Structure 1
């Protein structure tokens, strides 16, 4: 939930939409609990163990496609304040009296832990992430608190959590949501933008949460919403706001100058009001109507008497101006007295335990580390086969983008390239096939080669694969939540190639010579294509003008008037050429079926 009162709507005008490269080579802390909840809500009933399936896909996507270094954070034992709030919220939704929630919690009749099924999901996801070599940290209390601490202390560059409490815990950069199938997949909020746009800092946000409610006090102050809370906190500086709220809670009314007056001791005297000056009822200017009849109004420009005042007329004389200022001050003072009275009625306001919890900087348990390792492929295969009933070759195939990213990073890190020359100890780099653009994001399509032995195997069914055709697996669907691009398989002259999408800069760092050769060849092809287009255009149309619609239909009628024999000859020649092309393609393609090729590559 985070801060109540539609707090995200207040921050939305100051959010940013960032592109695919925003997290490239950055560390990011992920609140695992919200991932599991989102996954369960998105594909509930459509897949087996959706929390494992989508955690697997989304982690690979975050690591390989977006080039981030994710750190996952799980909740620890929740604070008694949050447990009590959660139980009270459940009681209210069930129509039960909330007065007994505190006593039940203290007597141990109600558990402060999450439900058993959700805890099992978290444990299974943590085991999966550790097999993938991703670090997992356990918080002492709230996961978003530890994410914020890692961000504020510089251990990570951003947090991925939809909980607005992260800003109150000290986060600087929060990614609220990820939309993978878009040009700008990240919805980001930065504390610097919030400070510049709203003029609010961290303690201001804490004060707003105390007034409108939060995860540790869902009630807040009765009768104070987000707009009124925003107006209150803007009256004081970030250093004074919490102390001023404490003074109000004790029955005092601070003014904006910093002085403190008693709420009940101040009373305005009406004797200070001056007698209202007479104003003309026709023109509205100072002076009575009779006076203006005898001697014309000095403010009216008409010679025939006073002009009738418009409906929205406002007198700008000194008395009326002072009267308006006095009324506005009186209105503000009445509003402020009313607000202070409501706050003073709140029990134990503000709760110092909540303030200390937000301002604390110790949210992690000892023994945690942030180191990224290499995935344990065989254990991962066994885990996914057991839990999701996937084919082992499919698991290895879907894991390949993560392994190729690790391989390219290690090769780019070692300038002398003394590491393992093979990807997964069996695939060698062959070439860069092309440059691909998806949702405005450019990447290289790389070819990885693994020769297939042709002895001892009986093909199930001959298959014809064209040169640029991509063989797709039936198990892979376009996931609307994650948009994971599965590696493609291409057959060519008896060899199989794996095609993976890789980051331009990463490939250039890992294979600088090959990248330079590809870019030069691409530039040369483009220049030749331009020259051919220019030459073809001049030869086909010497007059340099477009063919008119009359000439177009005349040529169409002439083609339609061709003899049947000529038509048969043309049709037969086209069929013969298509047959020759099919036979040539079939002879140069592999005769192995899709399932055999996949077992050979990933088995």
Structure 2
């Protein structure tokens, strides 16, 4: 929602795509209604109470994995215009004629349906149990998000309502996908001003022309491109005043601020100098037949050159004429736009302008006092999710651990103490470096203060999580290890490298030293292995350990066959020679008959 007419497509070329580190250590204001609607659309009918489940997981991800400080903003009482527009949108989507709908009365608002409001209240209770601040706006949530951003209380707004810029937002995050490598889609008002030349009041003027959340129709016959071209012809200070002037008077160019050229000026411009029909330059054709004009640069004996099909004269008179025609064309176009605007009743709506420009939701002092982040109330949170989501206590405690560890590291970085993580675990060591979604993390090993029996490694997964293992926004499963050698149990969690360094610099330095020593030892072993043994031994080892390529393999097999064939041939030849010599001896034996000796000799 927000500005109608595919307004996001207009801003898309000026989007910045940031990685997950963009929101680290930054305050972000979140339009809770946008999250709830988005969650319902994404996983509706797949899980139990998707608004609670995804609000829980996304908050844990945003706080622990991304390192942000979320500030949740809830809608207050909508204005009568917003209520009327919401009803009109519902009937329009249902295919019902909305022309007979009553006009919203002053001060009369219609709340959202009871089911949606119940979802909002349940999410508010969950967020408070997680220790996150919740602010309730007087009107629109995106208006309060924008005001917090404008006044510097938060660094960005997370919402898909494009009218947040109309309320004064400076930085907006449109899309947020925690469990992918896809970057955040961010928009800066400074980029929009530099790229499109549009400032806040220009955007308000566009929304009045094409439609918005308070007036779905806008001005009939004016689309986004027309509105963009029209508002860019005025400065930010005068655009809204011009719209008010056009709306008050009948469509007339004089009232718009232009001037109609006089008849003398038109006749003077119409006459102009004569142009040659042959070359197209100033002067008559008869004159150019005798003497070529100065513009053609041709041989005097040949005369002027014939003008091409797409010829345009560049003399001062023709330039002025073209500028006059273009100006007239623009004036006619602006006149048509003004006529469309003047036909629109009650345009522009002063209430809409006042909502966007003067929507003061809260004072800075009140909002600043409300922005505080506390530790999650784990015990009550376990009971809450057990009642609403049917989650086992062990499952909830395991899934809240990333938030608890992040909160613990932040406290240790600011004020080192002997406090335990979740009153059970102490920081033991850095297990290894892990790369996830293109970013390096430390896998931190936590040691449980009380010893445990057994020797195993397992992860806690409840039956409830099986049905939604592929749904978005679910954080990692924490790994628990038990060691029977010393009776200690360990837990592994993924943590931000900079946060771990700030909290436990000595542990990080120790890990880096050990890692460097291992790499040095490994390199020495490889170097020693290469230098050991004779060349024959190295060749034998290489032939045994290195896999041959397919060409080398078949070449080696062929040589082996040839060698075997030559060996067999020599054996057969030797046997034949022995047999031949034996036969010769037998053939020379005189005790045998003459026919037998002949047979032995020639067989």
TM range (shorter): 0.7 to 0.9
Q: Which runs of 5+ in 2 are unaligned?
A: 562-603
* 1:499 CA displacement: 1.1
State the partner residue of 2:475.
484
Partner of 1:512: 505
The counterpart of 2:237, out of the listed 224, 233, 239, is 239
Q: 1:281 to 1:473 in 2, by over 3 A?
A: farther
Pick from 200, 224, 227 the counterpart of residue 226 of structure 1.
Answer: 224
Structure 1 unaligned segments of length 5 or more: list them.
456-462, 562-603
- Counterpart for residue 459 of structure 1: none
Residue 496 of structure 1: how far off its partner (Å): 3.5
Displacement of 1:174 = 0.8
1:246-325 to 2 correspondence within 5 Å? 246-251=244-249, 261=255, 266=260, 269=263, 270-275=266-271, 277-303=273-299, 304-325=302-323
Deviations 1:378-433 (A, max 9, x none): 1111111121112211111000000111111111111xx2341x111111222110
Q: Cα offset for 1:17? A: 1.0
1:200 Cα deviation after fit: 1.8
Please give the alpha-carbon distance, in whole angstroms, between the structure 1 residues aligned to 2:229 and 2:106. Answer: 41
Residue of structure 2 in register with 1:63 after alignment: 63
Q: CA deviation at 1:185?
A: 3.0
- Distance in 2 (alpha carbons) for counterparts of 1:520 and 1:254: 80
Q: Distance in 2 between matches of 1:285 and 1:216?
A: 58
Cα deviation 1:333-355 (Å, max 9, x = unaligned): 11122222222222222111111
8 A contact 2:80–2:109 mirrored in 1 = no
Which digits, 9 at most, give the CA deviation of each residue in 1:132-162, with x for residues without a partner?
Answer: 1111111111000111111111111111111
SS of 2:442 mapped into structure 1: strand
SS in 2 for 1:482: coil
Shift of 1:62: 0.3
Q: Secondary structure of the equivalent of 2:157?
A: strand
Aligned equivalents of 1:492, 1:204: Cα separation in 2? 66
- Whether the 8 Å CA contact 1:263–1:337 is kept in 2: the answer is no
In the alignment, the residues of structure 2 paired with residue 292 and residue 537 of structure 1 have an alpha-carbon distance, to the nearest angstrom, of 93
Larger radius of gyration: 2
In 1, the alpha carbon distance for the partners of 2:116 and 2:9 equals: 29
Q: Secondary structure at the match of 1:429?
A: strand
RMSD: 3.3
In the alignment, is the contact (CA less than 8 A) between 1:278 and 1:287 conserved in 2? yes
Is the 8 Å Cα contact of residues 279 and 287 (structure 1) preserved in structure 2?
yes
2:379 corresponds to 1:378: yes
Whether the 8 Å CA contact 2:394–2:460 is kept in 1: the answer is: no
How far did 1:196 drift?
A: 1.8
Deviation at 1:247, TM superposition (A): 1.5
Deviation sequence 1:536-592 (CA, Å, 0-9, x none): 456698899x9995994279759999xxxxxxxxxxxxxxxxxxxxxxxxxxxxxxx
Indicate if the aligned counterparts of 2:65 and 2:495 stay in contact, CA closer than 8 A.
yes
Distance 1:526 1:282, change over 3 A: farther
Instruction: Determine the C-alpha separation between the residues in 1 that align with 2:151 and 2:470.
Output: 35
- Stretch moving more, 332-341 or 360-369: 360-369
Kept in 1, the 8 Å contact 2:249–2:255? The answer is no
Shift in CA distance, 560/138, structure 1 to aligned 2, threshold 3 Å: farther
The aligned runs of 1:286-435 (5 Å cut-off) are: 286-303=282-299, 304-364=302-362, 369-414=370-415, 417-420=416-419, 422-435=420-433
Mapped to 2, the partners of 1:16 and 1:107 lie a distance apart of 41
Report if the CA contact (8 A) 1:430-1:447 is conserved: yes
- Structure 2: how far apart are the matches of 1:51 and 1:549? 57
Which whole-Å CA distance do the structure 1 matches of 2:135 and 2:560 have between them?
75
Distance 2:200 2:258 in 1: 32
TM-score norm. by structure 2 comes to: 0.81
Q: Identify the residue that residue 452 of structure 2 maps to in structure 1.
A: 453
2:481 partner SS: strand
Q: Contact between 1:183 and 1:441, CA under 8 Å: does it hold in 2?
A: no
Matched, 1:139 2:137: yes
Q: Secondary structure at the match of 1:165?
A: helix
The answer as to whether partners of 2:80 and 2:106 remain within 8 angstroms in 1 is no
Query: What are the within-5 Å matches in structure 2 for residues 437-586 of structure 1?
Result: 437-450=435-448, 453-454=452-453, 471=459, 473=461, 475=465, 479=470, 481-482=472-473, 484-493=475-484, 495-536=488-529, 552-553=552-553, 557=557
Query: How far is the alpha carbon of 1:326 from its aligned partner?
Result: 0.9
Q: 1:62 to 1:107 in 2, by over 3 A?
A: closer
- Contact 1:263-1:340 at 8 Å conserved across structures: no
Query: TM-score with structure 1 length normalisation?
Result: 0.81
Whole-Å separation in 1 of the counterparts to 2:414 and 2:321: 74
Q: Classify 1:548/1:394 alpha carbon distance in 2 versus 1 (closer, same or farther; 3 Å).
A: closer
Deviations 1:187-221 (A, max 9, x none): 11111222222222211211111111111111111
Aligned in 2, Cα 1:398/1:547: closer, same or farther, shift over 3 Å?
closer
